[in-house]
Structure 1
Amino acid sequence: MRDIMVGSSTEFDTVLELCQDQHRRIILAVLAYEKRSLTVNDLRQTIIEHNHHKPITEIPEEETTQIRLSLIHTHIPKLEAFSLVDYDQERQVVEPTIQFDQLEPQLSVILDADPGLEPPIAL
C-alpha cells in the first residue's frame, strides 16, 4: 500500500489520477457524502442510478454484473492501494480511512468541479 503524504508534491497528482475515472469519482463522492462504510452493492447501485437515472431493476443484468466486477477488480483495489479505503472482501464492505478524511478537501475541489456529478450523490 502507498500512503499519500498530505501536503506532499505528489498529493495533487495522485488525487487527479484517482479522479480520472467517472466510477471512481462517484465512489469518492458517495463516500465523502455518506461518511460511513458502504457495501459493493451500495456503490454499484449509486453508479447505476447516477449514470442511468433508473432503478437497478431496470438495468440489464450483464451491465450490473460488469459494474460490480469493475468495482471489485479495478476501482476499489486502486483506492485501497493509495490507502483511501479499506476493503473487507468477505463482507464486501468498503470503508473510508483516515487518509481519505485527510484528502477529502482536495477530493472535494475536484468532485465539485465535475459537471457530471449532481450533488449530493447519496444512497
Structure 2
Amino acid sequence: MAAAPRKRPYPFEEYIPVQSKVHVGIKEAADEDEMERVYAHTRALLFKGANPQASQKTLESIGGMNGLVDGLNEENNPPPPPPPCFNPCPHHPFFDSIQCTDCEKRVCITNCSRSCCVCGQIFCQYCSVLK
C-alpha cells in the first residue's frame, strides 16, 4: 500500500487576509441622528396601529351571530349554486346518486357504489378495493 503523496506547500500563506462574513446594515452604518429618526418613525407607526379605527375592510370582516355581515341576509345574497355534478352511470337517475368519499365523484347508490366493511364509507367502483 503506497502512501498518499504530500501536497505542495502554499508559499503565500502569510499574505492571505483573514476572511469573515460581517453584515453591515443601515443600523450599523447610520449615525445617532438617523437612528433616532428611524426609532421615532417606528414608534409613530406602532401607536397609530394601536388606535382603534374602523375601516370598511374591518367592518366587512366582522360578522354577526349567523356568520353574515350585518345588513346582508340570505335573501339578498343567495348561496352560489352547487357545481354541476358528474353522473358516471347513465342508466340510473341522478337523484339516486351519492358522492364518493375518496375522489368525490357522483356514483349511483344502487349498482355503482361500494361500502367499506371497516369504516362503512361509500366509494366508487374505481376507488374501492374488493376482496
Q: TM-score, normalised by structure 1?
A: 0.21
Q: Which has the higher helix share?
A: 1
